């Protein structure tokens, strides 16, 4: 069977992924995915195999089924003292940083610890935040986000462009414990 660009596009769209999201999942650029879908480049077999693996994996659980809803977020102007109290109270280790309904970064326990100083409590989130967590559609298969969680502490879940949930490594562990 010959894998065409149109076939890759249909599989990607059926999976509810953008070109950029697929590119991130398999480790190539969005431009490369666009070229593959438009038959402007002949991808290596290893790239095709990664694409097919991501796009045709089983119909397991969807992100919406395991995500934590009502995502707590931080603002870039929030003080670290306030955010660390929120993290402890809610037993979370990372929060998306949101400004004008757009995710602009992530504040994590790790980023706070990395910046520990006498004045850290008065620092703002903007001073210690990291890049945003990856965002995937709610219909994305959980098996697809596993590789993202190897490199990121969490994955945000979106519906119609709005963040509706978060999945962390501990959420995947909950799935494992339920199957044992």
Q: What is the pLDDT of residues 107-140, one digit of tens each?
A: 999 999 999 999 999 999 999 999 999 999 998 8
Q: CB neighbours of 138 closer than 8 A, spacing ≥ 6?
A: 62, 63, 64, 67, 157, 158, 159, 164, 165
**Cβ neighbours of residue 176 closer than 8 Å, sequence gap 6 or more:** none
Q: Domain holding 51: CATH number? A: 1.10.260.40
15 and 72 co-located in one domain: no
Q: 91: buried, middle or exposed (CB in 10 Å: 19+, 13-18, 0-12)?
A: exposed
For residue 71, the SS3 value is: coil
Number of domains observed in the structure of the chain = 2
Write the pLDDT tens digit of every residue in 86-106: 999 999 999 999 999 899 999
**Is residue 60 very low, low, confident or very high in pLDDT (cuts 50, 70, 90)?**
low
| Whether residues 168 and 133 fall in one domain | yes
* Same-domain pairing of 153 and 123: yes
pLDDT tens-place string over residues 5-40: 888 888 888 777 889 988 888 889 999 999 999 999
What CATH number is attached to the domain comprising 75? 3.10.580.10
37 and 69 fall within a common domain: no
pTM above threshold 0.85: no
47 & 71 share domain: no
Split at pLDDT 50, 70, 90, the class of 173 is: low
Q: What is the DSSP string of 132-148?
A: PPPEEETTSBHHHHHHH
Give yes or no: residues 52 and 68 share one domain: no
Domain of 108 in residue numbering reads as: 64-179
**Does the pLDDT of residue 59 top 50, yes or no?**
no
Q: Given this model, what pLDDT does residue 68 score?
A: 92
């Amino acid at each position: 069977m010959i894998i065409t660009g149109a076939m890759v596009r249909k599989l990607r769209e059926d999976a509810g992924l953008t070109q950029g999201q697929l590119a991130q999942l398999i480790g190539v650029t969005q431009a490369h995915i666009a070229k593959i879908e438009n038959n402007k480049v002949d991808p290596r077999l290893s790239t095709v195999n990664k694409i097919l693996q991501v796009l045709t994996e089983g119909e397991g659980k969807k992100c919406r089924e395991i995500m934590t809803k009502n995502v707590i977020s931080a603002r870039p102007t929030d003080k670290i003292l306030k955010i660390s109290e929120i993290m402890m109270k809610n037993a979370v280790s990372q929060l998306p940083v949101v400004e004008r309904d757009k995710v602009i970064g992530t504040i994590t326990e790790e980023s706070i610890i990395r910046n520990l100083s006498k004045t850290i409590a008065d620092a703002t989130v903007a001073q210690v935040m990291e890049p945003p967590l990856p965002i995937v559609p709610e219909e994305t298969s959980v098996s697809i986000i596993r590789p993202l969680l190897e490199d990121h502490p969490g994955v945000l879940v979106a519906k119609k462009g709005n963040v509706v949930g978060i999945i962390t490594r501990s959420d995947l562990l909950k799935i494992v414990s339920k199957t044992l």
